[in-house]
Chains A and B, each alone.
Chain A
Amino acid sequence: MTEEKAVVSTGNRLSPVWILPIVALVLGMWAVVYSLTQQGPEIEIRFETAAGLIEGKTKLKYLDVDVGEVENIRFTEDREAVIVAVKLDLDAEDLLREDTRFWVVTARLGAGTVSGLDTLLSGAYIELAPGTGELGAREFVALDTPPVTPPGAPGMHLELFSGESPSLDAGDAVLFHGYKVGRVESVAFDAERREIRYRLFVDAPYHHLVDSSVRFWDVSGLSLTVDADGLKVSVGSLETLVLGGVAFGKPPGMAEGFPVESGAEFKLYPSYTDILADPYRYGLHYVVQFTQSLRGLTVGAPVEYRGINLGYVKRVMVQELMSLGEYGSGEAIPVLIYIEPGRLHAGDNQARLEELRLSLEIGVSRGLRATLSTGNILTGSMYIELDFYPDEPPAEPGVFQEYTTIPTISGGLSRIEKQITALLDKVNQLPLEETVTGANQAIAELTTSLAALRKILEHNKTQALSSELQSTLVELRRVLAGVSPDSRVYQSLNASLLELNRTLQNLSEFSRTLSDRPNAVVMPVEIPPDPIPEASP
């Protein structure tokens, strides 16, 4: 009897029962991976408040297209602002750059504009303006107000600075010849430089109008001028009358400028008249020190080079002089002057400024000096004149506090006074007495010489000399008559000349023939017949 043995097989084969769970697992994992790979980036934006923002509802839009949605809103750790987490679509990744800007769009009623009316019904949304910086940023700070300039608009940003109180506001117009070509984007106060800074945007293609020669002035409101011509009212435009604005243009007589980069800085003048009074941007400060009276020298007095206006006197630096603390030493009084290269019509820019600085420095070593000159004798008004005095000993520009100094020499009346004194000194030193004695001696000698001369002239022989001279002249006249046109010598000379003339003429004809026909010496010359003059029919 055979013993039956149970066949034991190891369970290494998977039961078909497992197929379903495995498929389910693979599908599940694929779904997870798919959803992970299809997820867009998540970013966090810091807002001052969460006004109008609702979790799971508020959209993030770019150019009015949804690119994401608010997921979560929470406080910052210090509970002073809110962090809004926004989930973006996958394809919106490249909008996230380090300088991308975000702001909330709601209905706004501004001075000049009404915007975002559609959000009254649809609810607020977050708008973004992609930047140009590096990709990959995930944390942003939102803007308080929408940027005035639409994102990516072609044009140019400019900066204006002004020491006056602010009269412009964000959104105000930028005008060129009364036409709106841009707007003020933002106003800020620079505490360090103590000036108001305005950020402007000039739309393309008008940004080409801005170059280094233009000046900006405030045209807010209206300006009233009363002068000898009557009452003058000037208004930029109706919009600027109500809202304010800034105009720019090229002052008359200004040299051509060069193009400026985006972000260039300009000074904002309070009015157009201020530009006409002081249209130049670049200038140099110098100090001139005088030991003479400054009576008649006022602030604003011209600084001239041989009559050409270079700049003006800024102030007499009495305060600085006092701070030196050297009382009673007769220290020279420093005067601050301001020299502008633009006045020479050479161009109002940094390069010209450097050229002027250099030429003044070289000039000083060659005798350039400042003097006080009288501009008007009646009023006694003075101005500062720069000129070359080659006789002056060579000098170098000095330093007074932070300013460079130009050496001075006393000018005007005091200079003349000095010269007269020097002249009188010289006259005093002349050996007058010795000179007079010498002159007396000379006169006595002259008298004796004249007496001797008279004796010679009265002598008989001297008188005979003149008759001899006369006879010589008669003889000379006779000789000269021999060569006059009537004389035979002249006639024969004339005939000889005529003969020579004829010979030369023949010779010239011969040479002409020879040059035409070099073989004319041995060969007979064949002269072509002359053209016959024809009478008019």
Chain B
Amino acid sequence: MRTLILAAALLLAACSSQPVEPTRYYLLRTPVAVTSGDQESAAEYSLGSVEVATYIDQPGLVQETGSGEIHMARHHQWAEPLRISLRRFLATGIGAEAGQTVAIMATSPEAGRIDVSIDQLHGNRRGEAVLVAFWQVSSANGNVTSHQFSESRDLSRDGYTALVEAEQALLQQLARRIGQSI
């Protein structure tokens, strides 16, 4: 009888949970001041498609761990899908740089269009955040120009918060570059 109790106790002990590291969520928002009030009537440009590479299209932050090997963080995640937050982030950023309103959604077919594709966004092994992106500006009169962006930025310190900060700064840089191109 005693051995039976002992066995059951051991079996149950295996089920006991250990303290789990809490998941942290990060919000991607532009530091550009958004003024409240009426927006100008019609946007000259609107964001068309904002595509992100499949490996970034998931909640976890991505960190390179080996040559060609990445880790998708389980405890450090974006609060919103990047596809959605990036659209908002870029529209505001580009608008601020270009000095005009950029619509988040394509509204009228007469307006110019900006299509962005994010190819890489992660922390690499050298302690940097990397961003590689391509964009295409189709102006209202039918001119189409293609551009690309590839930058990295050192992390200010260890940890995911620093990675998020660096990625945010890179995205801000990208938004400015797009803004200059229109």
Contact = CB atoms under 8 A, between A and B. Distances in A.
A530 B75 CA distance: 7
Contacts of A536: 126-128, 154-155
19 contacts: A485-B106, A508-B58, A509-B59, A523-B15, A524-B15, A527-B21, A527-B74, A527-B75, A530-B73, A530-B74, A532-B158, A532-B159, A533-B123, A533-B127, A534-B158, A535-B155, A535-B162, A536-B155, A537-B127
Interface residues of B, number: 32
Given A498-B84, A527-B20, A529-B21, A485 B158 contact: no
A531 B65 contact: yes
A502 interface: yes
Contact of A530 (B71, B84, B154, B157): B71
Given A527-B21, A527-B75, A531-B65, 11 more contacts: A501-B81, A509-B59, A524-B17, A524-B20, A526-B18, A526-B20, A530-B76, A533-B160, A535-B154, A535-B156, A535-B158
Nearest to B123: A533
A292 interface: no
B76 to A, nearest CB: 6
Interface of B: 15, 17-18, 20-21, 58-59, 63, 65, 71, 73-76, 81, 84, 105-107, 123, 126-128, 154-160, 162-163
A505 interface: yes
A485 B162 contact: no
Contacts of B123: 533
A533 B15 contact: no
B15 A531 contact: no
A179 to B, nearest CB: 62
Contact of B157 (A502, A524, A527, A535): A535
Nearest to A502: B81
Contacts of A509: 58-59
What 8 A-B pairs are tightest by C-beta distance, nearest first?
A: A536-B127, A535-B155, A530-B73, A524-B17, A533-B123, A533-B163, A535-B127, A527-B74
A486 B104 CA distance: 12
Interface string A496-537: 001001100100110000000000000110110111111111
Interface of A: 485-486, 498, 501-502, 505, 508-509, 523-524, 526-527, 529-537
Nearest to B163: A533
A111 to B, nearest CB: 82
Contacts of B105: 485
Nearest to B46: A485
A498 B87 CA distance: 13
A532 B84 CA distance: 26
Contacts of A502: 81
A532 B160 contact: yes
Contacts of A526: 18, 20
A489 to B, nearest CB: 15
Contact of A531 (B18, B59, B71, B155): B71
A509 B57 CA distance: 12
Contacts of A508: 58
B155 to A, nearest CB: 4
A485 B47 CA distance: 14
Contact of A529 (B15, B75, B127): B75
A532 B164 CA distance: 12
A524 B15 CA distance: 8
Nearest to B164: A533
Nearest to A536: B127
A533 B158 contact: yes
Given A501-B81, A502-B81, A531 B157 contact: no
A532 B65 CA distance: 10
B163 A485 contact: no
A536 B123 CA distance: 11
B126 to A, nearest CB: 6
Nearest to A506: B59
A530 B58 contact: no
Contacts of B17: 524
Contacts of A523: 15
A533 B81 contact: no
B52 to A, nearest CB: 13
Nearest to A513: B74
Chain B CB within 10 Å, residue with most, of A501, A532, A533 = A533
A536 B163 CA distance: 12
A485 B43 CA distance: 15
Contacts of A527: 20-21, 74-75
B75 A534 contact: no
A295 to B, nearest CB: 66
A526 B15 CA distance: 11
B106 to A, nearest CB: 8
B120 to A, nearest CB: 15
A320 B73 CA distance: 98
Contacts of B155: 533-536
Contacts of A537: 127
Nearest to B129: A533
Contacts of A486: 107
A526 B106 CA distance: 44
Contacts of B20: 524, 526-527
A532 B75 CA distance: 11
B160 A530 contact: yes
B13 to A, nearest CB: 13
Nearest to B17: A524
A501 B65 CA distance: 28
Contacts of B156: 535
A534 B126 CA distance: 8
A524 B21 CA distance: 13
B40 to A, nearest CB: 16
B62 to A, nearest CB: 10
